[in-house]
Structure 1
Amino acid sequence: MNSKIIFLDVDGTLVDYHNHLPENAVQAIHKAQKNGHQVYTVTGRAKAEMYSYILDIGFDGYIGGNGSYIESKGQVVKEKTLSAEDTQQIVDWLKNRGLEFYLESNNGLFGSENFASRGVKTIQEYIAYKGKPGAKQATPATVFPDMIYGEPLYRDDVNKISFILDSYNDYLAAQENFPSLKVGTWGGVGETALFGDIALKDIDKAVAIDELLEFLGKDVQDTLAFGDATVDIPMLNHCQIGVAMGNGGKEIKEMADYITASVEDDGLYKAFEYFQLI
């Protein structure tokens, strides 16, 4: 088999929504690399959320912020952030609207004053929405263990900003107030969404994959992508083979080339075997 480049989403693909990493997923990655394949994570997480137990796996590189940051073998290929002015305007708008939020930066996750308390209900709803056990025990501290509080929120190193939606109107208002930026939702579909986020326009996982492939001098025909959520659909659609996790949503399963088992049921390992990567 030709050497392949494998792109893995993190949440719901590599790890479950309690940040549990199956040991055989690590084994699959190492075996694939030993066979000459390269493995990159492609995630909405800023690098500050790529905790040591993930980075220590030893990936060939990392695409973060849903495509705003690209790193390959320790070299930064791309880093695009919101301007300090944009960040200040967003922070001020969220505060004036009474919404709690956190800034996603490669240097840390920075929470608003009351995110830890206000976020409990929303985090529990998010875990329950994913159909995972233990939702009632989840808190922002368990999902974001290294969240930083009390630091200045006017920054120039922010990839994107996520905020809790008190209602769907908060998302619509953000779209109206920041037309030059990309405003999205996550943790639910349409009016059931739990979070909004704000980032630069023209950033997505598929665009970042193309930028990385150009840097590596590789062809998209030699790629596989794994994901579980709507935000992963562009990269699954773009890569030669798109694999949806068994715990994934209906939309991504309908468009995927192959559906593997869930994270908890050894989905990555089984798919790596199926495609003879290991």
Structure 2
Amino acid sequence: MQKIIFLDIDGTLVNEKGMIPESAKLAVRKARENGHIIYLCTGRSRGEIFDDILSVGFDGLIGGAGCYIEVEKEALFHEKFKKTDAQQILDFFYEKGIDFYLETNTGLFASEKCKQNVFGFIAKLKANNPEFLKEIEKGIMPFYEALIEGEELIREDINKIIFLDSTTPIDSVMKEFEARYTVIPSTVPVFGSNSGEISLLGINKATAIEKVLTRLNITKENAFAYGDSFNDIEMLQFVQHGIAMGNAHEIVKSVADDITETVDENGIYNSFEKYGLLG
């Protein structure tokens, strides 16, 4: 029977160096050849899902942690921040000296020192992984180069707001905003322990998956989801087969139906094979 599979990107399909293991590419291709449907289901917005990922081949995507849905290359759903709400959040960041970037479907718009600080995070990653310099350059530098500086930041097309590590504790950011928005810590671990993302309340990967299943007339009993981060929790709980990566946070593993190996230990391929998705 045909299944539908929702794959997170960072920490699930892509490793911490920004690379997709060949085994994961093979798993996606073989599963699709076997008649299954595969969607990306990521916190990334459309503007930061680069060609090296899209070229693997997918049937659709959920971006911005659920605020954007693309089915058969057409937008099914797109919910964005109001300009007044964005202004309020950015004013707080300016006051606290927190660098950030705005995710939109057309690009990543950065605060004044954001790109400089991201470069520092990448340099630290390189220093800690000297044997993987080429992989890091190929996998992560396209993201750095995509950051756009000097543009208007109070916009009407914001899907999600990412903030970098700072001296402001993550608990303070959560206390300020969690009543009105979804605040998830450390969605990009390299950005530091006080980093995170702010997205629209009531919208997550599970709400988006439900819309896709309804559109395609597929039950959640025939759905798989793979993830590793806090923003994957709802979708792992929602589908029949919620599978955490071996590198997932322990809280994420605790809500999953199964746990596979890490990204670099062929976790995607091994799990697809285990569940008979490869034919």
TM range (shorter): 0.7 to 0.9
- Once the 2 structures are TM-superposed, how far is the Cα of residue 142 of structure 1 from its aligned partner? 6.2
Post-superposition offset of 1:187: 4.7
Q: CA deviation at 1:57?
A: 1.7
Within a 5 Å distance, the mapping from 1:99-118 to structure 2 comes to: 99-118=98-117
Q: Does 1:64 align with 2:89?
A: no
**1:195 positional shift:** 0.8
Return the alpha-carbon distance in structure 2 between the equivalents of residues 230 and 266 of structure 1: 21
Q: Which residue of 1 aligns with 2:27?
A: 28
Q: How many angstroms does 1:149 deviate by?
A: 1.3
Answer whether contact 1:18 1:142 (CA < 8 A) is retained: no
1:9-88 matches, within 5 Å, as: 9-88=8-87
Equivalent in the alignment of 2:257: 257
User: The residue matched to 1:252 in structure 2 has which SS?
Assistant: helix
CA-CA distance at 1:220 after TM superposition? 0.4
Q: How does 1:1-278 map to 2 (within 5 A)?
A: 2-121=1-120, 133=129, 141=141, 144-169=144-169, 171-173=171-173, 175-176=175-176, 179-187=179-187, 193-278=193-278
Structure 1 residue runs without a partner (length 5+): none
Kindly provide the amino acid, as one letter, of the partner of residue 163 in structure 1. Answer: F
**What amino acid does structure 2 have at the position aligned with 1:17?**
E
What secondary structure does 2:115 align onto?
helix
Secondary structure of the residue that 1:261 maps to in structure 2? coil
In structure 2, runs of 5+ residues without a counterpart are none
Contact preservation (8 Å) 1:161, 1:199: yes
Go from structure 1 to structure 2 and tell me whether the alpha carbon gap of 1:169 and 1:23 turns closer, same or farther (over 3 Å shift): closer
- TM-score, normalisation: structure 1: 0.87
Q: Which moved more, 1:159-168 or 1:66-75?
A: 159-168
1:100-121 CA distance string (max 9 Å, x none): 1100111101111101223345
- Structure 1 residue 135: Cα displacement: 11
Deviation at 1:58, TM superposition (A): 1.9
1:232 & 1:133 partners in 2: Cα distance? 27
What CA distance in whole angstroms lies between the structure 1 residues aligned with 2:69 and 2:187? Answer: 24
In 2, distance between residues paired with 1:201 and 1:177? 10
Normalised to the residue count of structure 2, the TM-score between the two structures is 0.87
1:247 to partner: Cα distance: 1.6
SS of equivalent residue, structure 2 residue 89:
helix
Q: In 1, Cα distance between the equivalents of 2:179 and 2:11?
A: 30
Percent identical:
37
Could you tell which deviates more after superposition, 101-110 or 84-93? 84-93
- Alpha-carbon distance in structure 2 between the residues aligned to 1:212 and 1:62: 9
Report deviation, 1:258: 1.9
Residue 87 of structure 1: how far off its partner (Å): 1.7
Q: Deviation per CA, 1:109-143: give whole Å up to 9, x if none.
A: 11111012233455677x69xxx845997798465
| 8 A contact 2:170–2:185 mirrored in 1 | no
Which whole-Å deviations, capped at 9, do the CAs of 1:157-184 have from their partners, x for residues lacking one?
0001111242354652564367432233
Q: Aligned partners of 2:17, 2:157: CA distance in 1, in Å?
A: 27
RMSD over aligned Cα, in angstroms?
Answer: 2.6
Q: For 1:215 and 1:38, locate their aligned partners in 2 and report how far apart those are by CA, in whole Å.
A: 13
Aligned mates of 1:123, 1:271 — CA distance in 2: 30
Distance apart, 1:24 and its partner CA:
2.1
Distance 2:233 2:211 in 1: 17
Q: CA, structure 1 residues 77+187, in 2 after alignment: closer, same or farther (shift >3 Å)? A: closer
**How many residues get paired?**
271
Structure 2 letter corresponding to 1:35: N
Cα–Cα, structure 1 residues 252 and 202, in superposed 2: closer, same or farther, change >3 Å? same
How far residue 55 of structure 1 moved from its aligned partner, in angstroms, is 1.1
